[in-house]
Amino acid sequence: MAQDRGVTPRSENYSQWYLDVISHGDLIDDSPVRGCKVLKPHGYAIWEAMQRDLDDRFKATGHVNAYFPLFIPMSFLSREAEHVEGFAKECALVTHHRLRASADGGVEPDPASQLEEPLVIRPTSETMIWHMYGRWIDSWRDLPILVNQWANVVRWEMKTRPFLRTAEFLWQEGHTAHATRAEAEEETSRMLDVYASFAEEVLAIPVLRGRKSARERFAGAVETYTIEAMMQNGWALQAGTSHFLGQNFARAFDVTFQSEAGERELVWATSWGVSTRLVGAVVMTHSDDEGLVLPPALAPVQVVIIPVYKNKDRETVMAAVDALHAQLEGRVRVRVDDRDNLRPGAKYYEWEHKGVPLRLEVGPRDVKRGAAFAKRRTGGDKFAIPFEGAVERVEEILAEVQQALLETARRRLDERTYAAESWDDFVRLIEEQPGFYQIPWGGDDADEDRVKDATKATLRCYPLKQPPIEGLTCPLTGKPAREWAIFARAY
């Protein structure tokens, strides 16, 4: 079934391409539970690599990790009015704590074990954490609290897509408490910058920093800041958010502190998070019609060495492979594929599908001339890398590939950021030419809804970098322009 081994081309069916890349890359498997996926070792390794790098960045900015419970008393969710409205529709509940044998031979909840108050499986942890912060915060000397947690959360989504939207997902959520508004605002912006530089430096995904409109803002936040990435089909993907929560949660959970001046004041809050959705962002940003492409800085395996030999050459080839492996190990993430039941060609395809940035082939001819035969995952002809000094050359190549991926993605973001002259113009263009539309926006919430109803495009953000807008008129509403806004179709 040679024809079934490939990936559906992007041009033919972009959604199917995405699913094919993930399945050929061996990242995920279906689970028996609706909307829940299994992260297979290669998929999880990508998330682990993200975790490691992000965790270092959080620590470097003064944060510490902690862990809060999965179960939240249902009454907590109702404390903050907007928050409950935002999440009520997608909460899973635990109502019993015991099963018993049922008449049909199976099991059923034991009615006697019904909980007095159902527990919500956390869709996010603001409520639990602010309940706890109430116990921890007494004086200005207890502040700031800069805590992050790595956790799973559950949001009962109707429509799921691997990595981009699943019922259960892995993420980190930072929750900080501050004595002043300015300090909390500064934290919000600092963490947005952490996300943006992580996305660009490690994931090779250029992002647009912006502020969410009221309609798109996190339920319970005063302001939500976002990094928006552009996928290869021109759709936007919210890749991370940082929220200025004001005093909303402090008020809801009655968290006050005594200031230096001796006054009782409400605590200021932020929260910020990124999730396994970022794996989907990487897949969609860099992969091609051959399959997965991983940026070297993120790739669990950066270099794979494939021995090529006839039986009579086995020993000499393997000696050279082992020497090369020893040279690279510790400097780059390298793996030797010495499986004897596959021919080299089959291995090439497999590792290409898994997104490994660089492949080194070592056969009798290579041993003779003292160089490995190399191939970049991202294209170009095969080329020789002399065994001597190979590790430096390999590191150079990985750095080049990393850079090239970022540049390609950045070019796409730039080239596909458009303007629209009028409502009709916009409605037509967003369909024919998906991308980011930079609009001098003058509309209100209702106008925003009208755009969405007509085009499915949403106001992704108000970019933090705002060109002058004085005197411009909003092409979509005819009203005086207030602020530049990005509109796009989004995941």
Partner RNA sequence: ACGGCUGUGGCGCAGUCUGGUCAGCGCGCCGCUCUGGGAGAGCGGAGGUCGCAGGUUCGAGUCCUGCCAGCCGUACCA
Query: Are residues 267 and 247 in contact, defined by beta-carbon separation less than 8 angstroms?
Result: yes
Q: Please report how close the Cβ of residue 399 comes to RNA at its closest, in angstroms.
A: 21
Q: Which of residues 180-209 bind RNA (CB under 7 A)?
A: none
Task: Single out the residue of 93, 101, 319, 342 in contact with RNA (rule: CB under 7 A).
Answer: 342
Nearer to RNA, 143 or 336 (CB): 336
Q: Please report how close the Cβ of residue 168 comes to RNA at its closest, in angstroms.
A: 7
Residues touching RNA: how many (CB under 7 A)?
Answer: 65
Q: Is 491 a binder of RNA (CB under 7 A)? A: yes
Q: By CB neighbour count within 10 A (0-12 exposed, 13-18 middle, 19+ buried), where does 8 fall? A: middle
Binding mask 345-384 for RNA (x = CB under 7 A): xx-xxx-xx-----x-xxxxxx------x-x------x--
Query: Are residues 356 and 299 in contact, defined by beta-carbon separation less than 8 angstroms?
Result: yes
Instruction: Indicate the helix (H) or strand (E) that contains 395.
Output: helix 390-415
**Which of 303, 491, 286 has the alpha carbon at shortest distance from 394?**
303
CA distance 448 to 213: 9
Task: Single out the residue of 68, 257, 309, 426 in contact with RNA (rule: CB under 7 A).
Answer: 309
Q: Please report how close the Cβ of residue 140 comes to RNA at its closest, in angstroms.
A: 32
DSSP E strand stretches across 326-464: 334-336, 358-362, 371-376, 383-386, 417-418, 436-441, 458-463
Burial call 15-27: b when 16+ CB within 10 Å, e when fewer: eebbebbbbbbbb
**Which of 225, 190, 222 has the alpha carbon at shortest distance from 207?**
225
Nearer to RNA, 148 or 275 (CB): 275
Task: Single out the residue of 12, 260, 340, 470 in contact with RNA (rule: CB under 7 A).
Answer: 340
Neighbouring CB atoms inside 10 A of 59's CB total 12
Which amino acid appears at position 268 of this protein?
W
Q: Is 428 a binder of RNA (CB under 7 A)? A: no
Six token digits for residue 32: 């028996």
Q: Please report how close the Cβ of residue 316 comes to RNA at its closest, in angstroms.
A: 11
Q: Which of residues 380-419 bind RNA (CB under 7 A)?
A: 382
Nearer to RNA, 323 or 490 (CB): 490
Show the DSSP H helices in 25-125 as ranges: 41-60, 74-77, 81-87
CA distance 75 to 91: 13
Give the up-direction half-sphere exposure of residue 166: CA atoms within 13 A in the CB hemisphere: 25
Binding mask 93-122 for RNA (x = CB under 7 A): ------------------------------
Nearer to RNA, 143 or 278 (CB): 278
The phi, psi pair for 172, rounded to 5°, reads -125, 145
Instruction: Using the rule CB under 7 A, give the single segment among 84-92, 195-203, 255-263, 416-424 that binds RNA.
Output: 84-92
In angstroms, the Cα distances linking 283 to 84, 95, 276, 286 are 33, 38, 11, 6
The phi, psi pair for 210, rounded to 5°, reads -160, 180
Q: Please report how close the Cβ of residue 156 comes to RNA at its closest, in angstroms.
A: 9
CA distance 399 to 332: 11
Instruction: Using the rule CB under 7 A, give the single segment among 173-181, 191-199, 339-347, 468-476 that binds RNA.
Output: 339-347
Rounded (10°) angle between helices 423-432 and 445-455: 50
Nearer to RNA, 124 or 176 (CB): 124
Q: Which of residues 28-57 bind RNA (CB under 7 A)?
A: 30, 34-35
Binding mask 221-250 for RNA (x = CB under 7 A): -----------------x--x---------
Q: Please report how close the Cβ of residue 164 comes to RNA at its closest, in angstroms.
A: 6
Q: Is 12 a binder of RNA (CB under 7 A)? A: no
Task: Single out the residue of 5, 135, 264, 465 in contact with RNA (rule: CB under 7 A).
Answer: 5
Query: Are residues 402 and 296 in contact, defined by beta-carbon separation less than 8 angstroms?
Result: yes
Binding mask 442-481 for RNA (x = CB under 7 A): ----------xx--x-------------------------
Residues in the site for RNA, rule: CB under 7 A? 1-2, 4-6, 15-16, 19, 30, 34-35, 86, 89-90, 155, 157-161, 164-167, 169, 216, 218-219, 238, 241, 275-277, 308-311, 314, 340-346, 348-350, 352-353, 359, 361-366, 373, 375, 382, 452-453, 456, 490-491
